[in-house]
Amino acid sequence: MSIIFKLFLSILLFVGTSSVAKADLVTDLSERRIDINSTFTGASLLLFGTFTEAFDYDPKRHDIVITVKGPNKPMILRKKAKKGGIWINYFREEYMEIPSYYSVLSSRPLEDISDKPTLGKYGLGTSFLFFNPNLNRQRLPDEKAWLDFRNAAVRLKKEEKLYIDQPNGVKFVGNGLFRANVDFPANVDVGKYEVSAYLFRDGNMIFEEHSPITMSKFGFSNQLTQFAHNYPWTHGFAAVLFALFSGWLAAVVFKRK
Amino acid sequence: MHIYLPIAEISVNIFLLLAIGGGIGFLSGLFGVGGGFLLTPLLIFTGIPPAVAVATGANQIVASSLSGVMAHFRRKTVDIKMGLVLLSGGIVGSFLGVGLFNWLKSVGQVDLLISISYVVFLGIIGSLMLAESLRAIWRLRNGTAPPRRRPGSHNWVHKMPLKMRFRASHLYISAIPPIIIGMLVGVLASIMGVGGGFIMVPAMIYILKMPTNVVVGTSLFQIMFVTALVTILHSGQNQTVDVVLATISLVGGVIGAQFGVRFSQKLRPELLRALLAGMVMLVCLKLGFDLVLQPEEMFQLMPLNMASE
């Protein structure tokens, strides 16, 4: 692993010396495509890169922030309340679209890297993620409740490991090279993900780079899901036929005993 | 070893699922019940979304009831005519149940519906069974004979119109009560993911006065068709049938049932019924407490299905 990694880096550096002058920041990923199969329990992606000024890299001046964003999905958040002695879903907020996955990794805690307006401008960190409620269906009483709901959504996503804050997730490994490990849990959504890398100098964002990765369900479980979603009625019939076959098989096998 | 369930969209330990399936199969072999009413809550306890647990439970019962009904066909203990009348009610009930299920899903209360249905039905059935089995044990201890039931006595069922002759059951009764019973079971199958045998068998014996030897086979016959319909409706409208999950729990169930049948011959039937009743009450209490006690997590985040809103 480490030999391959070093090889990658030296190639990157070699290519980098000619092109980095134009692009201040260069990154690459260990994989561009992650397949979810039936034994998928999560994945880890290695990101590495370097930048023009890396040769006089100063940890107090230079910072790297990496974000990985999953496809946006409309979501509904419900809050329970006690009604008639039992707890039922009572309050609700609909969000038009929120990232299904969001990971932010940085070389230092974000608040040490830059000020809030700058972080907000580039949407860096879970506190700056834009959640747009469906205003037509908004029934929450006040701003405090909106904020309460938004924070709960972020917390739930973090508990599912779908939102990840890694304030020291970007490591400099020497010679101005940095690396970061991006983790994906088993329940990630399929689709196009965007990997963004930002270079900060003295608290100012001076270069950004964006590249896509693809998360796809693969193999048998993917085909099954596709089938279930694209042909739900046929899938239902097939599920019943399969169950009837299994039941018949069980009856025949155990009759002999 | 974990396996990714494509529809439930979670990774679950395959041995845990096999153990649950095996445990339920063991119980169904031991007590002679379908076990759907314990399978669905247990799947929910492991973190499978309730809607998926219900739809998948129904799919699994299709398989287990076919195995059962084949054995009863060989012994000629199925009243097909009665089964078809029950089924006609069951079809209507399934559509009503899935409709109710979808409506409550769209307003975010489907989990509540599932929990309350379970608490109510497990509570009623569990306490009735417990009382009956304890009485039976008590009588055996004291050596008193059980009171005789008078079969064939006429009640309100026999005064209704639309009378039909059911040869296999030696009955000439109105078709309305079986249709209503079938309908109720169809509703239960679609909102609880159960076969409904635990409701239908007592109803057939005590309300319809069917002879006990054809009751189980006929009930399984109807359950097989109703759960098949419920599976198709849930798959078609909600895409919540997880075939991988159904297959794993079925494999466990088939194996478990074989051990259950053998073990049941070593235990006294009254004691078996008391044990089953105790278990039913435990699941009922757990679900009941979850409704009443303040939940640890007050919020629930779900993908919004635009079509259903």
**A246 and A191 co-located in one domain:** no
Rounded CA-CA distance A59/B166 in Å is 88
B112 to chain A: which residues are within 8 Å by CB? 86, 88-89
Determine the average pLDDT of the residues in B189-213.
Answer: 84
Domain total of chain A: 2
Task: Tell whether A41 lies on the interface with B, counting CB pairs under 8 A.
Answer: yes
pLDDT tens-place string over residues A133-179:
877 776 777 888 888 888 999 999 998 889 999 998 999 887 778 99
Digit-coded pLDDT (tens) for A174-215: 777 899 999 988 778 888 999 999 999 888 898 899 999 988
| Average of per-residue pLDDT values in chain A | 82
Hey, is the C-beta of A43 within 8 angstroms of any chain B C-beta?
no
- E-assigned strands of A167-250? 170-174, 177-184, 191-201, 204-217
Which chain B positions have a beta carbon within 8 Å of A247's beta carbon?
62-67, 70
How many Å apart are CA B200 and CA B207, to the nearest integer? 10
For range B159-175, the mean pLDDT: 82
Strand B163-166 to strand B10-13: parallel, antiparallel, or no bridges (unpaired)? unpaired
Query: Binning pLDDT at 50, 70 and 90, where does residue A20 land?
Result: very low
Name the residue facing B109 among A88, A242, A257 (closest C-beta): A88
* B151 contact A CB<8A: no
Residue at token pair 């230079």:
A62
The parent domain of residue A73 ranges over 2-216
pLDDT at A28: 84
Average pLDDT over residues A5-11: 55
Looking at the predicted structure, is the pLDDT value of residue A10 above 70?
no
Question: Which residues, 6+ apart, have CB-to-CB distance to B292 below 8 Å?
Answer: A85, A86, A87
The fraction of chain B above a pLDDT of 70, given in percent, is 93
pTM reported for the whole predicted model? 0.78
Question: Nearest C-alpha of chain B: how many angstroms from A159?
Answer: 11
Q: Note the maximum CA span of chain B.
A: 65
A contacts of B7 (beta carbons < 8 Å): 224-225, 228
Mean pLDDT of A253-257: 64
Note whether A110 and A170 are same-domain residues: yes
> Do residues A138 and A211 share a domain?
yes
Tell me: the pLDDT tens digits for A95-122? 888 899 999 999 999 988 999 888 888 8
What is residue B158's predicted lDDT score, i.e. its pLDDT? 67
State whether A131 and A225 are in the same domain: no
Q: Are residues A92 and A183 in the same domain?
A: yes
Question: Which is it for the CA torsion B23, B206, B66, B121, positive or negative?
Answer: negative
Distance CA B3, CA B14 (A): 6
Same domain (yes/no): A106, A148? yes
Place of tokens 């053998």: B262
Q: In this model, does residue A4 exceed pLDDT 80?
A: no
> Do residues A215 and A184 lie in contact, with contact meaning Cβ atoms separated by under 8 Å?
yes
* CA atoms within 13 Å, Cβ hemisphere of A41: 7
Could you say which of A39, A240, A254 has the minimum Cβ distance to residue B258? A254
Q: Return the pLDDT at B98.
A: 93
Contact criterion met (CB below 8 Å) for B222 and B83: yes
Does residue A177 sit in the same domain as residue A135? Answer: yes
Mutate to test the interface with A, among B5, B54, B67 (most CBs of A within 10 A): B67
CATH of the domain at A150: 2.60.40.1930
Supply the mean pLDDT for chain B. Answer: 84
Q: Does A193 share its domain with A246?
A: no
Q: Are residues A160 and A242 in the same domain?
A: no
Beta carbon pairs, A and B, within 8 Å: 174
pLDDT at A31: 76
Verify that A111 and A236 share a domain, yes or no: no
Kindly list the residues from chain B whose CB atom is less than 8 angstroms away from the CB atom of residue A223. Answer: none
B232 → closest Cβ in A156, A229, A240: A240
Binary contact (A85, B292; C-beta < 8 A): yes
A210 Cβ contact partners less than 8 Å away, ≥ 6 residues apart:
A194, A195, A196, A197
Lowest mean pLDDT among A10-14, A129-133, B180-184: A10-14
Instruction: Say how far apart CA B95 and CA B101 lie, in whole Å.
Output: 10
What is the rounded distance in angstroms from the CA atom of residue B228 to the CA atom of residue A241? 9
Whether A254 sits inside 8 A of B254 (CB atoms) is: yes
A192 and A255 co-located in one domain: no
Shared-domain flag, residues A34 and A133: yes
Per residue in B59-76, pLDDT (tens digit) is 988 888 888 888 888 888
Residue range A222-250: mean pLDDT, rounded: 89
Taking only the tens place, the pLDDT of each residue in A30-85 is: 877 777 666 667 788 889 888 887 777 788 888 999 999 999 988 889 899 888 88
Strands A163-166 and A102-106: parallel
How many CB atoms within 10 Å of residue A220? 12
What residues does each domain of chain B span?
2-143+153-294
